[in-house]
Structures are given as structure tokens and as C-alpha cells.
Amino acid sequence: MALRVSRKIYREILNKRVFSTPLLTARHCSSSAQTAPNIPHSAKKGRILTGATIGLVIAGGAYVSTVDEATFCGWLFSATKLLNPFFALLDPEVAHRLAVSAAARGWIPREKRPDPSNIGLEVWGRKFSNPIGLAAGFDKNAEAFDGLLGLGFGFVEVGSVTPVPQEGNPKPRIFRLPEGAIINRCGFNGEGIVAVAKRLGAQHAKRKLDETSRNSSSPTDEAKHKGKAGPGILGVNLGKNKTSEDAAADYVQGVHTLSQYADYLVINVSSPNTPGLRMLQGRKQLEDLVKKVQAARDEMQWGEEGPLPLLVKIAPDLSKEDLEDIAAVALALCLDGLIISNTTVSRPDPVSKNPVAREVGGLSGKPLFNLSTNILKEMYVLTKAELAECLERDGFKSITEAVGVDCR
């Protein structure tokens, strides 16, 4: 119907000798009806082009008005792919900065299509609309998490957040590889915990105000399970400053300052770009760190949902013995979960053949898939039957006996 209407309007525009716009009226109006003005060939082409453009706009607008919101949303997401070649021409860090700024200002599409109910899941009493999330490292300073959740992610993790602002490592520090990968050595560059707390607090207050204005004094079950950022789940990834001599104090400060705005917290001990950070993955170091962070969390006041879930993010470059130690600590201290994995310092094929692969930093992207998936599989097994076998093999009666044994 819309197409027929647009064709009719298009024909009328082309057949008319008088246009309604002031500039064209002055040129083409004539008091004589007997002779038509002699229109130059270039003017005719311009008139045809103008008419065609107007027709297409009218037709497109008429058709869009007849389609449902979900279909239009799909078109919008497809259209944004046209911008990808433009971003590929930019410096990687500049492209990243532009993407974050666009998301922060709402210049990206919002997903209006509801997730199918069969892909939702509930973890820690929190409902995830889908299991696909955005890892920490993209929105380091919590500038754009609302827009990113609007893209359709089931959860978004901001950070890593350090207590004190720091510039990170010297530029350039992000490198693209055509194999669908990135090498970065950013080094926890960020604005610090105060700036992040202000942004999260402002968004939290805005959401509470919106809820109040909707007279939601008796929240439905759906509202009860929404995240602290609104429709999605918000995680906050905590890091330590490069020059900090007390890593645990940095993480504890993150817990005290940011817990009230998050749905879960992450202890990041696996970035390869902060000197000495990965040493915290050792059994004794990790045990001491987790105990201090858990104590800081548990001493805070919590509602009926209880303490905030606490997770540890580990590297994919760990030995089998390292994985066994981490699994033992996780189970003994009742960690709420593990995030697997961070970037890798290895260079698996086919990346290893690329000269850019010699750049120092952590590799992420497609080449990391097999490595991280294997670590995920190993840790899943270790926190089930195989852990019991390891304890029995090493002569321990319980997991408690195994924790900290290397330091006794």
C-alpha cells in the first residue's frame, strides 16, 4: 500500500510544472498558460533527482510506520554494521574511545526485541535475560553501561576500577590483528574509584526516581529481579594500582565504595599488564586476598538478598597445578564463582605468524577461544569429582587441610 502511494506522489511531482517551494516558484511560475518554459537539461535532471528522493523518503517513512518495532530494531542494528569499515581505519584506541562516547550519549541503537524466555537463567538469585555479557575492559570508567545494556547484553561488567586514577602504560598500547584478535597492554588505565562511584551513584538515583514516579511501591517479581542498573545485570571489576604495596587494601576499598551499586563484584588478579598482579593467583596469596575481601564485604550492612556475590577472574596461562590450587581455594572459601578467562600472553596459531604478535600484552579474540574453553572445562571438572581425587592422591582428608599447605 505504501509503495503504491509513493509511486502516485512521485508521478505527481514529476508531472507538475509549478513547485511549492519559494525558490522554485520564482523560477517556474508564469502568467502565460499557453507556452511552457524552456527548462535546461541539467534542471530536468535535478528535478527528477529531487522527485525521486522525495518519493523514496515518503515511501520509506510510510513503510516504516507500518512495521512493528522489533522489525525496525533489526534493520537499525543491521545498518550500524556499515560503520565498521570506518572504525577500522582509525587508531584502535581512538575507535574504542569513540565507541564508548557514542554509547554514553545514547547514539547507538537500543534492543527492543524481548529475549526468548528459554535463554534466560538465574544465578545468585539474580535473573539474567540472556547469558551473553560484555566483559570488563570496554567500559573502564562506567561511562556507558546503560547504553551497553540497551544493546541487549544480559550483563555488563565495568572496570577494572582502581582506587587512584592512573594513566596506564605508554601509547600505542592496543594493536589489531586480522585474525580477529586484539593485543592490549593498557595497564588498568582509568579515572579511579571516585569518578566511577559518582557515575554509578547518579544512575542508581535516577533509576530509583523513575521507579518512584511509576508508583512501584509494591514491586512485581519481574522488578524484584532486575539488576541495580535497571533491566540488566551490572558487574564491577576491581583492580589494584600499579604502585600499590598493599593489593588487598585496594580491593577492600573497591568493595566498600562500589558494592552498593553492583550486582556482583570481581577480584581481577589476572591482567598481564600490571607487574606482579598474576602472582596473586598463587594458592597462599589468593587465599589471603580472598579472605580479606570477603571480610570487608561481610562486615557491611546487607538487605534480605544477603552479601554481594564475589568472583575471581583468572588467567588462561595457568598450569594444571595452579588450577588445582585455585579450585581448592575457591571451594574452601565458598567463592561465588570464577571468571574464565582474562587475556593470554601466549600467541597461538595463526596469530603467531603475524609480526604484530611480537607486541607485548594480552591477546584476546578468536585465537583465545580454544585455550579459554579448555581452562573452563578443566576448572569445571576440578570443582566436581576430580578435586576429590586430587585430595585423596595428595593424602588430604578434606579440602580445608589442603588450603595453604605450601606455606606451612
Residues taking part in catalysis = 271
- The 3-class secondary structure across 126-188, one letter per residue, is EEECCCCEECCCCCCCCCCHHHHHHCCCCEEEEEEECCCCECCCCCCCEEEECCCEEEECCCC
Is 80 in a helix, a strand, or coil?
helix
Tell me how far apart the alpha carbons of residues 361 and 378 are, in angstroms, rounded to a whole number: 25
Return the closest-CA partner of residue 87 out of 78, 96, 76: 96
Tell me how far apart the alpha carbons of residues 281 and 180 are, in angstroms, rounded to a whole number: 28
Cα R_g (the chain), whole angstroms:
29
Tell me how far apart the alpha carbons of residues 371 and 374 are, in angstroms, rounded to a whole number: 5
How many residues appear in the chain? 408
- Is the CB of residue 235 less than 8 Å from the CB of residue 157? yes
Cα separations in angstroms, 157 against 77, 100, 162, 217? 22, 14, 14, 29
Sequence-separated (6 or more) residues with CB below 8 Å from residue 339: 266, 311, 312, 313, 314
**Pairing, β 181-184 against β 264-268:** unpaired
- Is the CB of residue 216 less than 8 Å from the CB of residue 192? no
Q: What DSSP line would sit under 340-391, residue for residue?
A: E---BSS--TTGGGSGGGGSSSEEEEGGGHHHHHHHHHHHHHHTTHHHHHHH
Tell me how far apart the alpha carbons of residues 246 and 240 are, in angstroms, rounded to a whole number: 9
- Is the CB of residue 218 less than 8 Å from the CB of residue 188? no
